[in-house]
Structure 1
Amino acid sequence: MFKKGVWLHPARDITDADSLNRTIDKLRQGGFDFIVYQVRSSEGYMACECGGFKKNPLFRDFDPLEETVKALKKLGVEIHVWFTDFLDRLYLTEHPDSALIGFGGAEPVAKNGPWICPSRNDVIEYQLAQRKVVLENYEIDGIHFDYIRYPYHSVSDPEKGRVGCICRNCRGIFSTKYGVDPLDITLHHELWGEWVNWCVNNITSFVEKVVSLTRRVKPHAQVSAAVKPYYPYSIFQNGQDWVDWCRRGLLDFVAPMSYTNHTSFLGKLTELHRRYIEESLPLYEGIGAFSSASSLTPSMLKQQIETVKSHGADGVVIFHFNKLSEEHLDVINSS
């Protein structure tokens, strides 16, 4: 069965009971099988009641996750909750030492917020605690990774593209193990490969911890990830070896963010993704109906869905819900 999902921002679409009802109507019109619900934004706010973690003030006394879960159960639509993993402005404000520092010396800032360092135990424990509360208190169908990587320092780095973080913590750990300060490692250094592997291991280790937590607390819940589409470049640009996660059974489905207006190129990407992961798990291509890299008319969206289907995808995840018109929804439903 070809499955259809959509990335959804509750701060835009589910702020009260009325907006939830409108969202449910749109989901029904689109014929979606699942949604990917942003439960923690890059600002650090939670879109649920989550213990000591800060809820987005937009929701006031409304618990959007609880009400969405109830409504989707009736509709027969799955809900996978999505964390912006290493973007968290609130945490960084309270813990400034957690900032991810690029080789150019500046703290990289994504369009959606600032990065925090994946090597820090406090960062990892904080994020695991958030997931544990959600897993224990809500009948969700899965946990979804986003920004599960390092940023690509193509502009700030004088060497143009060294992956990783050179905060005090990262430099100390790596220097102790290898006897070399990461600041001295260029693309031509003999330890460049070890540095890249160290960064990859930081990201993969976090994935492993979340998978272990999820399987322990809610065994039926799936684990999935939105990943960079250009593999294996994602390894040395972002420290993200998502094909390894797939082949090792860490993920239950994967969604490469293949956002483009170039439909035949999308088909070639889909073929590559299918070849990389073989039949190890479902491949749901991420299609950018409205993204920083693409903008699709309804007819273009229809063509892209048909293209990924014919090139081996098991489904699609559309980015993003808020911008979809009725015409887009009808196209998705009929695909």
Structure 2
Amino acid sequence: MRKKFSVSICVILSFLMMTSQVWAAPDSSNYPNEPERFSSNRVDKVDKVPEPGQEMRGTYIVSWRQMTSREKIDQFIQEAADANFNTVFVQVRQRGDALYHSSFVSRSELLEGQPDDFDPLAYAIQKGHERGLEVHAWLNAMIAWGSSTEMPKDPNHIFYKEEWLLKDSTGKVAYPDPKTDPKNSVVEGPYFLEPGNLEVQDYLYNVYMEVVEKYDVDGIHFDFIRYPARMGPNTAGVGYGEEAVSRFRQETGLEPKQYSKSWDQWRADQITSIVSRIYKGTKERKADVEVSASVLAAWDLGLGRVFQDWRKWMETGILDFVMPMSYSPSNATVWKDTTDALQVAPPGKVVVGLGAWYFKNNPEGLAQQINILRNEKVRGFVLFAQDTESMAPTVNDYMQQLKQLVMTKQVKVPALPNSQFNVEEKYSMRDPLTVRVGEIDQTTRSFSHRFFVRNGKTSLLVKNEGLGKLTITVTPTLYPGHTFTLDVKGTRDTEVDISRYVNPSDYTSLANHTFLLTVAAEGPPGGKAEIFVEDYYLQ
């Protein structure tokens, strides 16, 4: 299915109105889901794939639901081991706090009432290893706090270091509160730290190194290793902390400007620098500890929307494996997320996150998605999440049913493929960037894809081999769409400038720039076509 194609080097800028369940494993949210990225009957139902001899079978263990007592930890360890899982990702940093014994991070308020000697991470490692499970410490990297009404009780909590908090371009701390401040609802989710602040970078390095040095973890897992997504069409940009802006000016001689290539790249580089430094520090201390990250499944959109350049992380070897978050009830979406990831990362370094809550009373549906992943031969899967919010009637009953469907035998976690350790600063200025967004053939007759038209030029490229006719529909996310039809009879390539559908006088509203592309073949089957989006900055 996957075809090799050349990818030039650049950066995409975009925004997203999406659930944090889609963007990061741990958090529930009231934000609406986005349209599906892909639809096809190709993978509506797949035949059962034989169980591989090795496979990562993981679950996410959420802090406030399961890490707050020894009894709860005992329960989830037993449930996972009895169902032939082999890995648990335990959340030990939620909102700038610690569910472990730290010398400088505030003890989580979730542990109030527990004995002072209770160390959730140490206990989970002990019990998990006794049952043969790998235990990975899952830490929310850039989250500082999650509530606008209840402040941290510990006066030393990082939330009170206001110079460390993410600011928007108006100078305000970026936090969504549509009821009290609708004009300043700039981001999704909680308070973020400022990635461009060097003190923040040092702090996060020390957070991860303390866990690596003190605990016998099998891995450390980045979550929220990114900037936040903007939540509205007219909201201010983020990343404008005083030190961040000062550093950008000193390093580039430029002013931070919305949608500018240099400012976008600089912010992406701050996230990459954090990942690179922590990866190198981890390997220097314990070479066998695996470093992973949950990321937006479409790497190009993640790069543009939240400056999360995980393709570059894989290219430069600063991540052992990546976990695209393919949280969707659609089998076709999971398939496309997975195959998109496999265009830029080898199968042995891809572990796909699946949204178990979409199949709360339906383990058969989740088993279908696991078979899709096995068909693509990725390293494994991780379920969000192993708890009653995602599994019913009980977690144990659900996981036992899943065991009978797709995990009838115990297997080991596969070793990582050999790769060269390389943390040199290498930049992914993809200019222009050509992304293969879909294919029309005998079985796939339609698909959809989101894309962003920047302050530059965006082209739709159709590489046709004998296909009669395609209907291309371009729809702005928040505004009425434009529809046009391409006649691509015979064997020829077609290029259409989509930039014309953006108001060139209005580059302040992201809603004018984010589109949903749908492609549908007309007429009887015959021929095929590949569709690409090419995008680059003019300035």
> Following superposition of structure 1 onto structure 2, how do residues 235-254 of structure 1 map, counting pairs within 5 Å?
235-254=303-322
Q: Quick one: percent identity of the two aligned structures? A: 24
TM-score normalised by structure 2 residue count: 0.56
**Which residue is equivalent to 2:403?**
333
TM-score normalised by structure 1 residue count: 0.89
**Which residue is equivalent to 1:5?**
58
Cα separation, partners in 2 of 1:269 and 1:331, compared to 1, 3 Å: farther
State the distance in 1 between where 2:401 and 2:325 align.
Answer: 20
Moved more, 10-19 or 256-265: 10-19
Deviation at 1:278, TM superposition (A): 3.0
**Which residue is equivalent to 1:60?**
115
Q: Secondary structure at the match of 1:35?
A: strand
- Do the aligned residues in 2 keep the contact of 1:5 with 1:318 (CA within 8 Å)? yes
Cα separation, partners in 2 of 1:154 and 1:67, compared to 1, 3 Å: closer
Cα separation, partners in 2 of 1:149 and 1:249, compared to 1, 3 Å: same
**Which residue is equivalent to 1:98?**
164
State the distance in 1 between where 2:310 and 2:101 align.
Answer: 31
State the distance in 2 between where 1:186 and 1:28 align.
Answer: 49
**Which residue is equivalent to 1:75?**
131
Q: Secondary structure at the match of 2:326?
A: coil
**Which residue is equivalent to 2:68?**
15
State the distance in 2 between where 1:205 and 1:49 align.
Answer: 27
Larger Rg: 2
State the distance in 1 between where 2:137 and 2:370 align.
Answer: 23
State the distance in 2 between where 1:64 and 1:34 align.
Answer: 16
| 1:308 maps to 2:361 | no
Deviation at 1:332, TM superposition (A): 3.7
**Which residue is equivalent to 1:168?**
242
> Following superposition of structure 1 onto structure 2, how do residues 102-117 of structure 1 map, counting pairs within 5 Å?
102-103=168-169, 106=172, 107-109=174-176, 113-117=190-194
- Do the aligned residues in 1 keep the contact of 2:298 with 2:340 (CA within 8 Å)? no
State the distance in 2 between where 1:195 and 1:157 align.
Answer: 19
**Which residue is equivalent to 1:50?**
102
Cα separation, partners in 2 of 1:92 and 1:70, compared to 1, 3 Å: closer
Paired letter, 2:68: T
State the distance in 1 between where 2:305 and 2:288 align.
Answer: 33
Q: Secondary structure at the match of 2:281?
A: helix
Deviation at 1:13, TM superposition (A): 1.0
Moved more, 223-232 or 322-331: 322-331
State the distance in 1 between where 2:397 and 2:334 align.
Answer: 22
**Which residue is equivalent to 1:186?**
258
Cα separation, partners in 2 of 1:21 and 1:92, compared to 1, 3 Å: closer
Deviation at 1:94, TM superposition (A): 2.0
Gaps of 5+ in 2: 1-53, 146-151, 177-186, 407-539
Cα separation, partners in 2 of 1:158 and 1:74, compared to 1, 3 Å: closer
Q: Secondary structure at the match of 2:142?
A: coil
State the distance in 2 between where 1:195 and 1:108 align.
Answer: 21
Paired letter, 2:225: I
Moved more, 256-265 or 167-176: 167-176
Paired letter, 1:266: V
Deviation per residue, 1:30-69 (Å, 9 max, x gap): 3211111111112x22111112322224243311111111
Paired letter, 1:31: N
Q: Secondary structure at the match of 2:354?
A: strand
- Do the aligned residues in 2 keep the contact of 1:148 with 1:240 (CA within 8 Å)? yes
State the distance in 2 between where 1:313 and 1:332 align.
Answer: 19
State the distance in 1 between where 2:402 and 2:234 align.
Answer: 41
State the distance in 1 between where 2:233 and 2:333 align.
Answer: 29
Gaps of 5+ in 1: none
Match for 1:38 among 83, 88, 91? 91
Match for 2:204 among 98, 123, 127? 127
> Following superposition of structure 1 onto structure 2, how do residues 155-234 of structure 1 map, counting pairs within 5 Å?
155=232, 157-158=234-235, 164-182=238-256, 185-187=257-259, 192-234=260-302
| 1:138 maps to 2:181 | no
Paired letter, 2:203: Y
Q: How many residues get paired?
A: 321
Cα separation, partners in 2 of 1:23 and 1:111, compared to 1, 3 Å: farther
- Do the aligned residues in 2 keep the contact of 1:136 with 1:217 (CA within 8 Å)? yes
- Do the aligned residues in 1 keep the contact of 2:197 with 2:241 (CA within 8 Å)? no
Deviation at 1:186, TM superposition (A): 3.1
State the distance in 2 between where 1:2 and 1:19 align.
Answer: 26
Greater fraction of residues in helix: 1
Deviation at 1:154, TM superposition (A): 4.1
Match for 2:329 among 254, 258, 261? 261
State the distance in 1 between where 2:142 and 2:235 align.
Answer: 24
